[in-house]
A and B are shown apart, each in its own frame.
Chain A
Amino acid sequence: MIYFDNVSKIYTDGSTALDNVSLRIEPNEFVSIVGQSGAGKTTLIKMILGEEYPTFGAVFFEEIDIHSLKKTNLNDYRRRIGTVFQDFRLLSHKNVYENIAFAMEAAGRSEEEIAVDVPHVLELVDLGNKIWNFPHQLSGGEKQRVAIARAIVNQPDIIIADEPTGNLDPVNTYEIIQILKKINDLGTTVVLTTHNKGVIDSLGRRVITMENGRVARDDKSGKYIL
């Protein structure tokens, strides 16, 4: 599904964020990427999202070189990916309903579909009663669940979750991971980056360990080892 072919990223200041990375992520996988700060996890994620361009090598999504896509095709491609971030990245002037509806509108979905799907997806993340709240009226865990609802509402092929539990307490962390597992069980590929050892160890899924921009380990059913 996603294939990194000898990808390197060297910034203009000479620092190397990725160093000759090759890896493959298969459909329906739940892949965790771990590593210390600066190991290259975020750059890896940004490469998948088409936010960063490789200095060498190429990143493929189903045979398509992501970085050769034109702007409009890149928008279409991004609609096939759901993103969840540590800082939630909700639209602060839109309420919960509108935040999720925006992703559907961007994908060209009709008002009728939006009216049906938004409440449905909010029920899935157990936020049906907060539909008209604004982000500042929600707790961290609730904000992250809205972000997940937004990420999954267009039924993406892949969910990218970049440190989604970084700002959450253990209870909310557990709930968010359970939601991600459920999404994966329903057939969506999940790529998760985290520093949380407990989360990785409890998942028992594939773990890619990054060190100095390189893939240091790639364990099928790994643990958090640095």
Chain B
Amino acid sequence: MLWTKIKRIIKTGSKSFARNGSVSVASTLVMTVTLSVITSLIFVGALLQSTLQGIKEKVDINVYLESSATDSQAESLRTALDERPDVALVTYTTAEEVLAAFRARHEGNPLIVDALDEVGGNPLEASINIRAVDPSQYQAIADFIQEKNVSGENTRNIVKKISYLDNKEAIDTLSRIISSSERLGIIIAIFFIIISILITFNTVRLAIYTSKDEIAVMRLVGASSRYIKGPFVIIGILYGFISSVITLAIFYPITYSLGNLTYNLGTGMNVFTYYLANFMQITVIVIVTGVVLGMISSYLAVKKYIKL
């Protein structure tokens, strides 16, 4: 009996969806707009993340070592830094490697090469390059290095200079901008999602309002609340599902045409590549959002009109 009821509810809901042509089309289109806003926010979020990540990766600090520091001492400091969870990458470059890189960089500039030869030996220091997981963590890392330089085992008095201390203000400002941008992005996303959901809810409510009298008749012939609500919930699910499919289809040509543009803007991300790479996740998010939104909107709307 339960299966028969479920079958009837699905059949009735699907038929009503098809027969209420104009109302269904209008509701589906409004929901498509809602889902498009939500999908756009996914892409905007990813672009923001990618851009911020790019900026974060450009921020690093260098620890210049005393010429008296041995390879083993430098390695000890490198290992200690590597073990920290807030450090993403540590690279140790010996004084010889620094010199070789310097020479290579200024190969075409005889003035600098000659000056270097004139000085004799290697005037450049070995250095450790550190990239933190988050730019806000550089202060703690710099403090750690200084502490190691004062009291560390096998790392005492090997640090000549930490670049962070010179660039502290710029790094801190950048760190604040990144953090504010992320927060602002989330607030704007929530704002748009709420607006979109309200618009969808009201559209579905208006669509069901047209059936207000029919709901009263269903009540009068003795239909149970569940039997009345069921088909409307199915209609809501169909609005959501069809809108999701339309939204996913629309975003294919949109991201295709914007792919190179977004990459060339310096975001480090091609939206079309991102869409294809994350197609399954985006599909699940859009369909689940659409279906749940349609289902809840319908349920709440019909619940309002079912009270006689």
Contacts and interface: CB of A to CB of B under 8 A. Distances in A.
Interface stretch (B129-137, B210-218, B251-259, B269-277): B210-218
A105 B180 CA distance: 58
Nearest to A72: B224
A49 B220 contact: yes
B308 to A, nearest CB: 6
A89 B222 contact: no
Nearest to B221: A103
Given A89-B213, A91-B214, A91-B218, A106 B223 contact: yes
A93 B227 contact: no
6 closest A-B pairs by CB = A79-B222, A106-B223, A78-B222, A103-B221, A93-B19, A89-B217
A92 B214 contact: yes
14 contacts: A78-B219, A78-B221, A79-B221, A79-B222, A89-B216, A89-B217, A90-B217, A91-B214, A91-B218, A92-B214, A98-B15, A102-B221, A106-B223, A111-B4
A9 interface: no
B4 A78 contact: no
- Give the interface SS of chain B, mostly helix, strand, loop or mixed: helix
Interface in A76-97: 76-79, 81, 83, 89-93
B222 A107 contact: yes
Nearest to A52: B308
Given A51-B308, A93-B16, A93-B20, A102 B218 contact: yes
B8 A108 contact: no
Contacts of A110: 4
A71 B308 CA distance: 11
A106 B222 contact: yes
A133 interface: no
B225 interface: yes
Nearest to A93: B19
A94 to B, nearest CB: 8
Interface string A34-60: 000000000000000101000000000
Contacts of A91: 214, 217-218
Contacts of A105: 8, 223, 227
Contacts of B1: 108
A92 B4 CA distance: 24
Interface of B: 1, 4, 8, 15-16, 19-20, 213-214, 216-225, 227, 308
Task: Please indicate which of the listed interface residues B1, B16, B20, B223 has the most CB atoms of chain A within 10 Å of its own CB.
Answer: B223
A75 interface: yes
Contacts of B308: 51
A51 B221 CA distance: 12
A78 B224 contact: no
Task: Please indicate which of the listed interface residues B219, B222, B227 has the most CB atoms of chain A within 10 Å of its own CB.
Answer: B222
A90 B16 CA distance: 14
B217 A78 contact: no
A206 interface: no
A105 B19 CA distance: 20
B221 A106 contact: yes
Contacts of B220: 49, 51, 78, 83, 89
A143 interface: no
A106 to B, nearest CB: 4
A49 B221 CA distance: 10
A130 to B, nearest CB: 18
A150 interface: yes
Given A92-B214, A108-B1, A71 B225 contact: yes
A75 B308 CA distance: 12
Contacts of B216: 89
